[in-house]
Amino acid sequence: MIDVKDLPDIIYQNAKQHVTASAPSSLDAAIEQVERNLIVRSFRKYGSSRKVAQDLKISQTRASKLIRKYCH
């Protein structure tokens, strides 16, 4: 199995900078980022608020609001 220490230093440094640069600045930002990723992934997969709601086990109303917020 390839481990991080097996990577060339330049790749490791670039990856580390990218992770640091894109890390959320607060708990609220981290939660919003996870919420966005889940909604976008589910909407791309299913294409409807009803199916997104079922997939994420939330109400269809909430799914619709989040889809409007993150996907349109």
- Is the model more confident about 57 or about 5? 57
For residue 55, being part of any structural domain is answered with yes
**Structural domain containing residue 42:** 35-72
Enter the pTM of the model: 0.68
| In-domain check, residue 6 | no
Closest by CA to 70, choosing from 46, 45, 38, 36, is: 36
Q: Give me the helix-helix angle, 49-56 and 27-46, nearest 10°.
A: 120
Work out how many domains the chain is built from and give that number: 1
The DSSP result for 15-62, as a single string, is HHHHHHHHS-SSHHHHHHHHHHHHHHHHHHHH-SHHHHHHHHT--HHH
30: pLDDT strictly greater than 60: yes
pLDDT tens digits for range 45-72: 999 999 999 999 999 999 999 999 999 8
Q: What is the pLDDT of residue 61?
A: 98
**How many whole angstroms separate alpha carbon 10 and alpha carbon 25?**
26
Residue 18 belongs to some domain of the structure: no
